[in-house]
Amino acid sequence: MAEQDWKASKTSFAAVSVPTLLWVVIFFIVPMAIVWLYSFGENRGLTEIAISGTLDNYKRATEWLYLTIFGKSFAVAALVTLICLIVGFSVAMAITFASEKWRPWLLLGIMLPFWTNLLIRTYALMMLLGTQGFANKGLGALWEGTSWIKTLVGLQPLPTWEPVQLLFNNFAVVFGLVYVHLPFMVLPLYAALDRLDRSLIEASLDLGAGHFRTIMRIVVPLAAPGIVAGVMITLIPALGAYLTPDLMGGTDSQMIANVIERQFKKANDWPFGAALSFLLIYAMFALIAIQSMRRKVPEVH
Amino acid sequence: MALLGRTPVAPLEYSRTLWMRLWVGAVMIFLYAPLIVLMIFSFNDSKRNVVWRGFTTKYYEKAMANDALVEALVNSLTIAALATIASLVLGAVAAVMLWRFRFPLKGAVDGTISLPIIVPEICLGVAFLMFFAAVDWPTDLAWPFNLGAITIAHITFCFPFVTMVVRSRLASFNREQEEAAKDLGATEWQVFRDVLIPHIKPALVAGALLSFTLSLDDFVITYFTSGPDTITFPVKVYSMVRFSVTPEVNAASTLLIILTVVLTFIALKLQGVKAIAETH
């Protein structure tokens, strides 16, 4: 039995569609429409905003300062996605080919952080990376060790260890975003790799291809849908990330979400914030459009 | 299992090679070390999270005695419970609509329902801030009603996840069951209640857990919709982290991590690891 035409049972259709559509229209479309309208407005006085149809907010968004922030956000998100892909792919491979006994535990190991509060995870990482944190102490111990070995073999000792600044810079933002988003990448990759026909990999190995070549030529193309899903699932939230750059970044590592937040909480320039929000949404749409275009390209057999 | 098995490693047993094990172990340490350190240091008898100075539970007492923190936690749990119930109803109903009926503009409706998943959190937060300001949403209501704005925002981004999970479960529904029920004289409502609901129950459980965690987790959207009287747990922790890092935050965080672990294990008991992994 195929889908039923809505006219065939209007009451049932009304019962399921009216609540859904009302909710989506009132609490999603209307708020979004307000943002869109305000992005063409301007501040008149302290609290009054006039929707005058001006394009000034968008013009301001193309100023060099904001363009660099957009560019930087894209670069950071892309770098984070790339690192997550490399790390996540190897971990997903390991989980896929793990023994029956280990696989559920490894999956659980990836999933638990996924369910843990994002703020708590960020805070935990901040504790570890602080100048007095364990990461710095570990590096310090390594440094002292190297210095000691050098004196042992008769070389000049290294200068005394200075704690490195691991927090409040761009490194911390990338590190924090990778930490937060890694589980997002592993799960869809695992789902794709798990469906893979293993005899194809075996055939490739039997025919003399090395492991690396097999992965690049057989596994990656077959797992492509999972890879694309993983990339999108990581790239989109990383691009709109607010918390990690806010808490772990320095003054020069703001991303686009931080600029948007400032327009609402501190600068009180709602129309400009609205315009930036919509530019970010358009960027997401562009990414999704590119992805769906890619899907339509016929696969080479 | 020994670190190095005795039987020779077969070509596909990637996870049995030593370097692969070390690598996965390193990734797991990367994921867990910060959380474990945070939990250990919540028992540390020192104001600063640096050196171990002995075991204490005084920061748990302090966190429990911190009225603002407890109130924030109660708010968060209330919002999460309300948002979960509403998301389940709305999500299930939307899933049935998309699965059962053919109607004009179906593609557009389908896309719009899943949009809140894709739209960046910050944009959704901004939208709710502007929306509640534009409709002059009352902010001086008595408790639980003052949480209305946040709950509405949470329902909007939670229910599409429920729809997604329920829909994939509905795909395996045998429509002949529905026809049989109807032949035997069941009304539409009875079919829904006695045939369809039992079939989608596992998806409803998964959706409920997903909504509850998403709602409990959310900081950005809540940050834009909460007022001075409606602080949630993540918003409270955020302001604490911003201004000072104290073991009290560690203690409160540890409690929330434990809650998450318990919820995850309940989900596993009900669903099995694989089913949960596939919902993501």
Q: What is the pLDDT of residues A165-211, one digit of tens each?
A: 778 888 899 999 999 999 989 988 998 888 888 888 888 888 888 88
What pLDDT score was predicted for residue B20? 83
What pLDDT score was predicted for residue B202? 84
Average pLDDT over all residues of chain B: 84
From B99's Cα to the closest Cα of chain A, the distance in A is 7
* pLDDT (average), residues B242-259: 83
What pLDDT score was predicted for residue B178? 85
Confidence of residue A74 (pLDDT cuts 50, 70, 90): very high
Confidence of residue B9 (pLDDT cuts 50, 70, 90): low
Residue of A nearest to B216 (CA): A117
**Burial call A47-58: b when 16+ CB within 10 Å, e when fewer:** eebeeeeeeebe
Is the separation of the CB atoms in A110 and A91 below 8 Å? yes
Q: Which of residues 154-213 of A touch B (CB under 8 A)?
A: 179, 182-183, 187-188, 190-191, 198, 201-202, 205, 211
What pLDDT score was predicted for residue B5? 47
The strand pairing partners of A50, in sequence order, are A42
Confidence of residue A300 (pLDDT cuts 50, 70, 90): very low
Residue B279: pLDDT over 70: no
| CA count, 13 A, side-chain hemisphere, B257 | 24
Q: What is the pLDDT of residues B129-173, one digit of tens each?
A: 999 998 888 877 777 888 999 999 999 999 999 998 898 888 888
Residue of B nearest to A49 (CA): B134
* pLDDT (average), residues A243-265: 89
- Across the interface, of B97, B128, B179, the residue whose CB is closest to A20 is B97
- Which chain A residues are closer than 8 Å to B40 by Cβ? none
What pLDDT score was predicted for residue A70? 92
Higher pLDDT, B70 or B267: B70
Q: How many CB atoms lie within 10 A of CB B143?
A: 12
Residue B227: pLDDT over 70: yes
Q: Say what the pTM is.
A: 0.86
What pLDDT score was predicted for residue A86? 94
* pLDDT (average), residues A64-93: 93
Determine phi and psi for A66, rounding to 5 degrees: -75, -35
The strand pairing partners of A48, in sequence order, are A44
Are β-strands B101-102 and A48-51 bridged in parallel, bridged antiparallel, or unpaired?
A: unpaired
- Which chain A residues are closer than 8 Å to B277 by Cβ? 107, 111, 187, 190-191
| CA count, 13 A, side-chain hemisphere, B119 | 27
Confidence of residue A268 (pLDDT cuts 50, 70, 90): confident
Average pLDDT over all residues of chain A: 86
Is the separation of the CB atoms in B247 and B59 below 8 Å? yes
Which residue shows structure tokens 């808490």?
Answer: A247
Confidence of residue A212 (pLDDT cuts 50, 70, 90): confident
Residue A134: pLDDT over 80: no
A204 Cα distance to chain centroid: 34
From A288's Cα to the closest Cα of chain B, the distance in A is 9
Complex ipTM, two decimals?
A: 0.85
Confidence of residue B280 (pLDDT cuts 50, 70, 90): very low
Confidence of residue B7 (pLDDT cuts 50, 70, 90): low
Are β-strands A41-44 and A4-5 bridged in parallel, bridged antiparallel, or unpaired?
A: unpaired
* pLDDT (average), residues A103-119: 86
Is the separation of the CB atoms in A288 and A66 below 8 Å? no
- Which chain A residues are closer than 8 Å to B237 by Cβ? 119-120, 123
Residue B21: pLDDT over 60: yes
Residue B136 — left, alpha, or beta (φ > 0 → left; ψ -120 to 50 → alpha)? Answer: left
CA distance A92 to A96: 6
What pLDDT score was predicted for residue B8? 60
**Six token digits for residue A134:** 């364990």
**Six token digits for residue A80:** 């984070």
Confidence of residue B241 (pLDDT cuts 50, 70, 90): confident
Confidence of residue B1 (pLDDT cuts 50, 70, 90): very low
Residue B14: pLDDT over 70: no
Q: What is the pLDDT of residues B64-82, one digit of tens each?
A: 888 888 899 999 999 999 9
CA distance A148 to A154: 10
Q: What is the pLDDT of residues B72-127, one digit of tens each?
A: 999 999 999 999 999 999 999 999 999 888 888 888 998 899 899 889 999 999 99
**Six token digits for residue B198:** 């039992």
* pLDDT (average), residues A241-249: 91
Residue A1: pLDDT over 50: no
Residue A118: pLDDT over 60: yes
* pLDDT (average), residues B245-268: 83
Residue B52: pLDDT over 80: no
Residue A271: pLDDT over 80: yes
Residue in A1, A4, A22, A28 to test binding to B, most B beta-carbons within 10 Å: A28
Exposed / middle / buried, residue B96 (Cβ in 10 Å: 0-12, 13-18, 19+): buried
The strand pairing partners of B44, in sequence order, are B55
Residue B244: pLDDT over 80: no
Confidence of residue A160 (pLDDT cuts 50, 70, 90): confident
Q: Does B94 sit within 8 Å of A28, measured CB to CB?
A: no
**Six token digits for residue B57:** 């539970």
What pLDDT score was predicted for residue B50? 65
Most confidently predicted of A49-58, A80-89, B36-45, B221-230 = A80-89
Q: What is residue A133's DSSP assignment?
A: S
From A21, A26, A286, select the one nearest B127 (Cα to Cα): A26
